[in-house]
Amino acid sequence: MRKRSSSLKLTTMLAGATALTLSGCDDPGPQASWDPNRGEQVQAFSYKSLEECKAANEVSDAQCDTSYAAAQKDDQKNAPRYEARASCEDVYGAGNCVPRSEANGGGSFFTPLLAGFVIGQMLDGGGYRGTGLYRRNDEYGGGYYSTYGGRLGRDYGTGRTTISKSSIDPPDAIRQAPPKIQTRTSVVSRGGFGGGRSYASSGSYRGGFGG
């Protein structure tokens, strides 16, 4: 028998859904219509650490290594960015944001700490890809989100954790676009959401790491 991961246990799906149009400091541009929570939902495997992934035996050790490396790379390039620590902590909780700066002197900002990583099926159906997970701790929904904004959910028919394909393996236009740095004003005006890119988000789940 394969071991079951205890990495994430999602609780009750909230009734209703609220669509929010999100952006960074500047003009949201053509990405504004992209919704990382829509589209095909696929089974996802989520873990707090590389060691937990390998111990769960849900995917191969090589897939754990590859997915963890992709999560680290995505985090460095595409993690949600905030102008001030307080703005970041409003969304991700006190002590969960760290300062960073561009290697080429492009300025400093704050990003949330990685809470783990998630593995899901790629858009072309040719395999699996991993990316980072961040835990939102704000009053507007909370839960776990991928680097590209997709929220972990649960298929209540099967009990399996799910996420949209596009939030694991987004289109090139999304992956290659420079993240936008959010200000406190933009966070408050958008109900506390902390995505680092521009997209519309719908659906409402709550989740938490289980023991």
Asked if 129 and 123 touch (Cβ cutoff 8 Å), the reply is no
Coil/strand/helix, residue 155 = strand
pLDDT at 114 over 50: yes
Phi, psi angle pair for 176, to nearest 5°: -90, -10
pLDDT in tens, 9-51: 332 222 222 222 223 334 444 444 578 888 889 999 999 999 9
Mean pLDDT of the chain: 75
Lowest mean pLDDT among 11-25, 50-64, 78-92: 11-25
Alpha helices for the chain (secondary structure H) = 50-56, 61-78, 85-92, 172-175, 184-189
d(CA 164, CA 139): 23
pLDDT mean over 96-101: 94
pLDDT at 121 over 70: yes
d(CA 48, CA 167): 18
The whole model's pTM is what? 0.72
pLDDT in tens, 158-211: 899 999 999 998 888 888 887 788 886 665 555 443 344 433 333 323 233 332
pLDDT at 7 over 60: no
Please give the angle made by the CA atoms of 167, 175 and 82, to the nearest 5 degrees.
85
Distances (CA, A) of 57 to 5, 70, 98: 8, 19, 32
* Residue 33: per-residue pLDDT: 57
**Who wins on pLDDT, 55 or 13?**
55
CA dihedral 142, 45, 195, 19 (to 10 degrees): -70
DSSP state of 61: H
